[in-house]
């Protein structure tokens, strides 16, 4: 998969934004046979889509706002993602600890919500891979709760309620799988391509002026319709029209996560903060992933950063919400990440935590900008269905011949696996000279592309040596550059591999990765040092 040169004279659709929404839109359109160009200013899925809690969930808490249709849609899409991306999406047990502190944390109250959640997820066992079936909820006594998760012990604990959602083990690669699927069906895509203006035919938008940041050139992409999927930057893209659209500025919420030493066993453990928000600890790669915050952000999305204060606020919430056995300090943080969520409720008086995660599709013709539609809001779990609705809308607007979406019925590229556990066992047997746990990890994040990665690894002992506890190798660096459009060191470390997603991989490993990247991407010594400096800054805890 190489960065496109965009050789077509004109496309049916030009998509701005390569996060999960734009990736899913491009895939849906390409699978229906339309010509598609997708551009992303940074790397694919490097902003909001990389700042998730690594969950594919139905949104249990949305029941409190009576958003039954959103919960039902999310639960259906959870099952579909289990089906079409079986190597990425897995059931995970969520333990909600109960006490008598408030009505919302009482076991009887939670059970009412759980029963409704089970009813709305009536199709949860209709999975292609039978190992992905999700059971109904269960209630646990105080004793059984402590047997399973001893660290949640506290004086007022009455037990817990356990229900299942799904974990996305590598959201960045799942987003990339949508990109690859779009390319496999004819889409032209490229990262580091910045939309800097629009092309007009009379009063109607006919394309996008684009700056290629890799090759330092300007190009023009023409399309029958431009689709704005820029997420928290959607209003900034609208401003490029020069037509002064009347739509208000987006509302944005910041969410951060921290990674610490292992605090719980096998469950995702959820508690309620003193302010009434849900907060959780997720087991991930031998560590604990903790999140998330939900705080309104005012200002340019380009200026947003995870701050020292926001990390301390999250730590304080954790320490107030869980038992004394789960007390953490700033020094326990091994890595962090965060991002901005776009919200559609610009006039809502609700705090951003209670704001809806629904999405909307706007025809900008209503604002005097024809030839452009804008997608706002949404959540990772419902992105496939959002894309289906966007292309249905686009077909109707442009008068193109209608064809049904097939994205719910086909495996994503690299995920063509009927039985994931059997697939992993076969991979372990095929590469028995490698550590079994390492092949288990690699088989899941690469799926049916594993053999291509292993062919690189087997070409040199240096390329097959384990760099971390998961068994990641330098062979993956070569594969990321040659086959997955990795352009920068952070692309490689944070979104093509997991070498850097648990924090700094160590000076020696970082240098080895940088040396290979410099050779393949033809960086001089200065460029290599600049790339190293950039990622060193990312690894510094604010």
pLDDT in tens, 408-431: 999 999 999 999 999 999 999 999
pLDDT at residue 248, as a whole number: 55
In this prediction, residues 73-97 reach a mean pLDDT of 97
Structure tokens given for 118: 């089970």
With beta carbons less than 8 A apart as the criterion, state whether 344 and 377 touch. yes
Q: Which fold has domain 11-48+172-249+357-398?
A: FAD/NAD(P)-binding domain (3.50.50)
Structure tokens given for 516: 């290979």
Q: Which residue spans within 307-455 are E strands per DSSP?
A: 335-343, 359-363, 372-377
pLDDT at residue 13, as a whole number: 98
- pLDDT, tens digit, for every residue of 441-495? 999 999 999 999 999 999 999 999 999 999 999 999 999 999 999 999 999 999 9
Distances (CA, A) of 209 to 36, 197, 232, 240: 16, 5, 20, 10
Q: What is the pTM of this model?
A: 0.96
CATH number of 420-539: 1.10.8.870
Do domains 58-168+251-343 and 420-539 share one topology? The answer is no
Compute the distance between CA of residue 71 and CA of residue 382 in angstroms, rounded to an integer. Answer: 10
Is the peptide bond between 149 and the residue preceding it cis, with omega within 30 degrees of 0?
no
Q: Which fold has domain 58-168+251-343?
A: D-Amino Acid Oxidase; Chain A, domain 2 (3.30.9)
pLDDT at residue 275, as a whole number: 81
Closest C-alpha among 469, 419, 411 to residue 442 = 469
Give the orientation angle of helix 107-120 with respect to helix 68-84, to 10 degrees: 60
Could you tell me which residues are beta bridge partners of residue 218? 211
pLDDT at 349 over 50: no
State whether residue 474 is helix, strand or coil.
helix
With beta carbons less than 8 A apart as the criterion, state whether 94 and 167 touch. no
The domain locations on the chain are 11-48+172-249+357-398, 58-168+251-343, 420-539
With beta carbons less than 8 A apart as the criterion, state whether 85 and 164 touch. no
Alpha-carbon torsion angle 151, 156, 158, 161, nearest 10? -60
pLDDT at residue 351, as a whole number: 56
- 105 C-beta neighbours (distance < 10 Å), count: 18
pLDDT at 49 over 80: yes
């Amino acid at each position: 998969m190489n960065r496109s040169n965009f050789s077509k004279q004109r496309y049916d659709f030009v998509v701005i934004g390569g996060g999960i929404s734009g990736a899913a839109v491009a895939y849906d359109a390409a699978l229906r046979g339309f010509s598609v160009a997708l551009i992303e200013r940074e790397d694919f899925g490097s902003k909001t889509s990389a700042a998730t809690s690594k969950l594919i969930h139905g949104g249990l808490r949305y029941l409190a706002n009576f958003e039954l249709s959103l919960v039902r849609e999310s639960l259906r899409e959870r099952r579909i993602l289990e089906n079409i991306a079986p190597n990425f999406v897995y059931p995970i047990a969520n333990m909600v600890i109960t006490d008598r502190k408030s009505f919302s944390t009482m076991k009887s109250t939670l059970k009412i919500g759980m029963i409704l959640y089970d009813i709305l997820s009536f199709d949860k066992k209709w999975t292609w891979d039978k190992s992905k079936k999700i059971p109904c909820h269960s209630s646990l006594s105080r004793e059984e709760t402590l047997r399973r998760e001893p660290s949640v012990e506290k004086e007022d604990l009455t037990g817990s309620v356990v229900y299942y959602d799904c974990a996305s083990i590598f959201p960045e690669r799942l987003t990339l799988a949508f990109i690859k699927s779009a390319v496999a069906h004819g889409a032209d895509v490229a990262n580091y391509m910045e939309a800097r203006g629009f092309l007009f035919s009379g009063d109607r938008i006919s394309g996008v002026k684009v700056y290629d940041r890799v090759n330092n050139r300007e190009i023009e992409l023409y399309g029958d319709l431009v689709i704005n999927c820029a997420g928290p930057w959607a209003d900034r893209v609208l401003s490029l029209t020069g037509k002064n659209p009347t739509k208000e500025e987006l509302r944005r919420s910041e969410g951060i996560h921290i990674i610490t030493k292992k605090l719980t066993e096998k469950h995702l453990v959820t508690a309620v903060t003193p302010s009434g928000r849900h907060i959780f600890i997720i087991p991930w790669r031998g560590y604990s992933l903790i999140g998330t915050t939900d705080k309104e952000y005012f200002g340019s999305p380009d200026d947003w950063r995870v701050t020292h204060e926001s990390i301390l606020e999250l730590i304080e919430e954790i320490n107030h919400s869980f038992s004394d056995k789960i007390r953490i300090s700033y020094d326990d943080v091994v890595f962090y990440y965060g991002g901005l969520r776009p919200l559609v409720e610009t006039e809502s008086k609700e705090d951003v935590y209670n704001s809806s995660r629904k999405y909307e599709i706007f025809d900008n013709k209503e604002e005097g900008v024809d030839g452009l539609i804008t997608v706002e809001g949404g959540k990772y779990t419902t992105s496939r269905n959002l894309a289906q609705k966007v292309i249905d809308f686009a077909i109707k607007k442009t008068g193109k011949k209608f064809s049904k979406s097939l994205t719910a019925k086909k495996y994503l590229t690299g995920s063509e696996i009927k039985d994931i556990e059997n697939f992993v066992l076969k991979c372990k047997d095929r590469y028995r000279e490698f550590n079994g746990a390492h092949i288990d990890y690699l088989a899941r994040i690469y799926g049916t592309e594993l053999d291509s990665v292993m062919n690189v690894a087997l070409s040199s002992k240096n390329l097959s040596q384990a760099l971390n506890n998961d068994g990641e190798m330098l062979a993956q660096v070569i594969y990321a550059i040659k086959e997955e459009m990795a352009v920068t060191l952070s692309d490689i470390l944070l979104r093509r591999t997991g070498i850097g997603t648990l924090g700094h991989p160590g000076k020696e490993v970082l240098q080895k990765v940088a040396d290979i990247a410099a050779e393949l991407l033809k960086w001089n010594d200065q460029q290599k040092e600049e790339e190293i400096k950039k990622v060193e800054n990312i690894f510094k805890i604010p």
